């Protein structure tokens, strides 16, 4: 399955540590919300304090986006 670049966005301000994060591809063909607890720990570490980051990912109709590695910043 080919990989794509996706944007991962965490909530900017929230009191709920499990507020959903948004993950989507450039065309927004597959846009999903994922509870914070389901974002892989390594991805949260790679994001650091950034509210948005880009990752290489694979789409699965069964599981949604599978994050693979952090990607360079994109202008979209």
**HEC string of 2-62?**
CCEEEEEECCCCCCCCCCEEEEEECCCCCEEEEEHHHCCHHHHHHHCCCCEEEEEEEEECC
pLDDT tens by residue, 23-45: 999 999 999 999 999 999 999 99
What pTM did the predictor assign? 0.90
Domain ranges of the chain: 4-71
Q: How would residue 1 be classed by pLDDT, with cut points 50, 70 and 90?
A: low
C-alpha span between 7 and 52 (Å, rounded): 7
Structure tokens at 9: 């966005």
């Amino acid at each position: 399955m080919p990989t794509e670049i996706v944007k991962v966005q965490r909530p900017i301000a929230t009191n709920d540590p499990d507020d959903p994060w948004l993950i989507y591809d450039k065309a927004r063909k597959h846009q999903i919300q994922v509870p914070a607890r389901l974002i892989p720990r390594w991805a949260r570490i790679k994001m650091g304090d950034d509210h948005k980051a880009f990752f290489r990912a694979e789409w699965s109709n069964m599981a949604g986006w599978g994050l693979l590695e952090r990607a360079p910043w994109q202008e979209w």
